[in-house]
A and B are shown apart, each in its own frame.
Chain A
Amino acid sequence: MKTALSALALLFVTTAVVAAPPEHYLHVKVDGTNTKELVRVNIPLSLAEKVIPAINSGQLRDGKVQMGNFRCDSVDLQAIINAVKAAPDGEFVTVQEPGTNVRVAKERGQMIVHVTDKDNGQKVDVTIPWQVAEALASATHQRELNLEAAIQALDRAGDATLVTVTDNDETVRVWIDSRNSSD
């Protein structure tokens, strides 16, 4: 009896370990405060991982985005990302102007960008997990961002709020979690 129970327990544990990881979703929610409009989009990351490499149009080719006129031929983007990754948490850039505040910081292994535009009542928060930033910069050409790798990195990064935009008219939120519907 004991052996049978042990075998069952082992089987249960093995199944739990071997079981496929939960699907992660990229959620976009646009909530119009004044217009009473609500848009919710839930994209399974596995779907995005398949579709993005298949798109060859405009600046998106083979899962990579061309950065247009941005030139960084003599700059090793990957080296900069590695250097910032190795740096301790802290504020990297702070800009304070009448009506506008910008803050770029590293917090808990994530790149944080806060922009506040007091004149328009707009607030933007962007959070980029490090593995996603590294994946974006992992393209073979300097003037490309590797979107396909970034999506794969997002899948591994776990739950996170990526972008929040709030102004007088609407709120936009982009986040990742393993729920198949937004709140």
Chain B
Amino acid sequence: MLLLGKIGIGLMGTVLVGGAIASSEGFIHVKVNEKQTNGTHISLIVPAVIMPMAVEFIPRHHLRDASANLQQFMPIIDAAMSGLADCPDGPLVEVLDSDSHVTVVKSGGSIVLDADDPDETVHVAVPLRATQRAIDMIAEANGPS
């Protein structure tokens, strides 16, 4: 009984630590709702920590073009990411016309994009820190392996 308890505590600890690691970088949330009948509805929530991990699994030769293109913009991307991380939460961009509405908001360390048009609604939330790490890894893909 005591052994079972220890195993239980061990498992619970592992789950807690795993959960803490998984949520440490926040979550990527993608939600798409097509408005027509039988339209697709997708809601995806994944820990942002997998984004840099996923980049690790992409063969380097596939990243070379992206890396070369990114290199020239890295100072701007780094500055923008750092600036966005430090600035307070709030709406950054809003575009409204007769039938669509798009907003880009900084919220709790994430950039949140919402789009609503006659065909679909889209919600994308991406944590800044994980995005920065993934971009850095792609940019470095051209470096020595």
Contacts and interface: CB of A to CB of B under 8 A. Distances in A.
B90 A46 contact: no
B98 A54 contact: no
B93 interface: yes
Interface string A44-57: 10111111011110
A47 B80 contact: yes
The size class of the interface chain A forms with chain B is 20 to 34
B70 to A, nearest CB: 14
A138 interface: no
Interface of A: 23, 25, 32, 35-44, 46-51, 53-56, 180-181
Nearest to A179: B90
B82 A50 contact: yes
Interface residues of B, number: 21
A23 B88 contact: yes
A36 B97 contact: yes
A42 B87 contact: no
Determine the main DSSP class of A at the interface with B.
Answer: mixed
B75 A56 contact: yes
B94 A44 contact: no
Interface in B83-138: 83-84, 86-98
Given A54-B75, A180-B88, A40 B80 contact: no
B80 A44 contact: no
Contacts of A55: 76
Contacts of A25: 90
Nearest to A28: B93
B2 interface: no
A133 B86 CA distance: 27
A151 B53 CA distance: 38
B42 interface: no
A56 B76 CA distance: 9
B91 A44 contact: no
